[in-house]
């Protein structure tokens, strides 16, 4: 979501969660669809890596195809390297801030990048490799659209494929969004002045800050779950079913009754009763105001996840 916001979308986490339930009244559809496609691109990449497929140009093109599979940019050669010139900033290449390599050079440039991605860790430390791969991908700009989002997804996918992460739980996009002007300036300084050191320092500092923030957020989420579990156990009636629904909401913090029935294995009346109890305890809130087809949100959990992500 943050990676898409860097490109100008205005979707919030709540918008995305509601969109995934086909319940997004008033949400800017094109924006939230862009974010949903970005999620799909990441999931596709992880699935292919878990199947043993290498992080390669073929996989990068597949991920790009998922990213632009619908919505804005769907007409800009999804899944294919560009066959025409692009540029960054300005109305034409002659007035642009930066002009990437011409299209006939893109396959060779990306081939060199692919070889670099597979350099052994004893030759290039993983975080350094990731930092250099990101700036080089953005410099090649191999697609007509979606280069920024693919380049940032590449960070998570490379760290996962190198075994640094067991799950893709390190996203630099909040740091990059917060320091957006510095981010773009340092990319350009690498291109124009060869200032790799300043870029590496920025990237590594962002990685440290993001990792520490992720640990703090994870601990706060665990503490919230435990606090709410104790609150549920303090009541005598239907504790078991309320705990099962509470656990289901940890996996899907905005959910309908049918979805919670499927996730918890309980009947619809039992889930409804458990949600009434959770609502009385202030753990969940009904979001739609409807009598039927209601949607419930685990508000404090969503708030923790969404910190710093407001458009």
CB under 8 Å to 208, separation ≥6 — which residues?
none
Tens-digit pLDDT profile for residues 242-278? 999 999 999 999 999 999 999 999 999 999 999 999 9
CB under 8 Å to 139, separation ≥6 — which residues?
100, 187, 190, 191
| CATH architecture of the region 234-306 | Orthogonal Bundle (1.10)
Report pTM: 0.87
Tens-digit pLDDT profile for residues 81-128? 999 999 999 999 999 999 999 999 999 999 999 999 999 888 999 999
Tens-digit pLDDT profile for residues 126-158? 999 999 999 999 999 999 999 999 999 999 999
pLDDT at 311: 66
pLDDT at 27: 53
Local structure of 88: helix, strand or coil: strand
Residue 42 has pLDDT above 70, yes or no: yes
Domain spans, the chain: 2-212, 234-306
> What is the rounded radius of gyration, in angstroms, for the C-alpha atoms of the chain?
22
Choose the CATH number for 2-212 among 1.10.3290.10, 3.10.450.200, 1.10.3720.10, 1.10.1040.10.
1.10.3290.10
> Is residue 296 a contact partner of residue 286, using CB atoms and an 8 Å limit?
yes
């Amino acid at each position: 979501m943050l990676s898409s916001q860097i490109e100008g979308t205005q979707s919030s986490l709540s918008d995305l969660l509601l969109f995934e339930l086909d319940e997004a009244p008033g949400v800017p559809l094109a924006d939230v669809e862009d974010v949903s496609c970005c999620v799909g691109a990441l999931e596709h990449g992880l699935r292919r890596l878990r199947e043993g497929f290498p992080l390669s140009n073929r996989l990068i093109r597949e991920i790009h195809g998922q990213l632009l599979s619908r919505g804005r940019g769907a007409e800009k050669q999804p899944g294919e390297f560009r066959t025409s010139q692009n540029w960054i900033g300005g109305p034409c290449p002659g007035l642009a801030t930066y002009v990437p390599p011409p299209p006939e050079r893109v396959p060779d440039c990306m081939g060199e990048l692919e070889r670099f991605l597979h350099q052994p860790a004893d030759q290039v430390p993983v975080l350094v490799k990731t930092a250099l791969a990101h700036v080089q991908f953005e410099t090649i700009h191999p697609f007509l659209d979606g280069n920024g989002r693919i380049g940032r997804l590449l960070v998570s996918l490379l760290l996962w494929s190198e075994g640094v992460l067991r799950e893709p739980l390190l996203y630099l996009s909040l740091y990059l969004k917060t320091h957006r002007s510095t981010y773009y300036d340092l990319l350009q300084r690498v291109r124009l002045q060869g200032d790799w050191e300043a870029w590496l320092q920025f990237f590594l500092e962002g990685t440290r800050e993001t990792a520490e923030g992720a640990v703090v957020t994870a601990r706060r989420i665990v503490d919230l779950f435990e606090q709410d579990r104790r609150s549920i156990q303090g009541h005598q009636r239907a504790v078991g079913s309320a705990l099962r629904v509470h656990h289901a909401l940890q996996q899907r913090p905005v959910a309908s009754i049918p979805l919670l029935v499927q996730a918890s294995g309980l009947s619809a009346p039992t889930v409804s009763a458990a949600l009434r109890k959770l609502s009385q305890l202030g753990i969940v809130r009904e979001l739609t105001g409807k009598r039927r087809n209601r949607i419930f949100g685990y508000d404090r959990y969503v708030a923790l996840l969404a910190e710093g992500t407001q458009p």
